[in-house]
Amino acid sequence: MITANASYFDAWAGPGCNNRLERYSACGCTNVGASQHGGYSFAYQGQTAAAYNTANCQGVAHTRFSGSVQDCSGFGWNSFFIQC
């Protein structure tokens, strides 16, 4: 597994950006844990990313990230792809 030098996606169990945090920093596709949909942040450090409603980054990306962002409400993405 290759890890991105900087960009990463954090997902919290919730509610909101609280409780258990999982950090996703691997290059390529990673499935988001089923219990990690309370809130999220993406720290952009040079690698862009995309979020998918499906597992294994199948189909068309729902949301693309080219800058840092945080949203402490629930989200429905099931996988996340960091372009390295």
Task: Write the CA distances from 39 to 1, 3, 50, 57, integer angstroms.
Answer: 25, 22, 16, 19
On the question of pLDDT at 33 being above 90, the answer is yes
Residue 6 pLDDT = 83
What average pLDDT score do residues 31-56 get? Answer: 97
Q: What is the pLDDT of residue 5?
A: 63
CATH class assigned to 8-82: mainly beta
How much is the pTM? 0.89
Going 51 to 56 to 57 to 59, the CA torsion angle's sign is: negative
C-alpha 74/C-alpha 1 separation (Å) is 28
Mean pLDDT computed over every residue of the chain: 94
Which H or E run includes 42?
strand 39-43
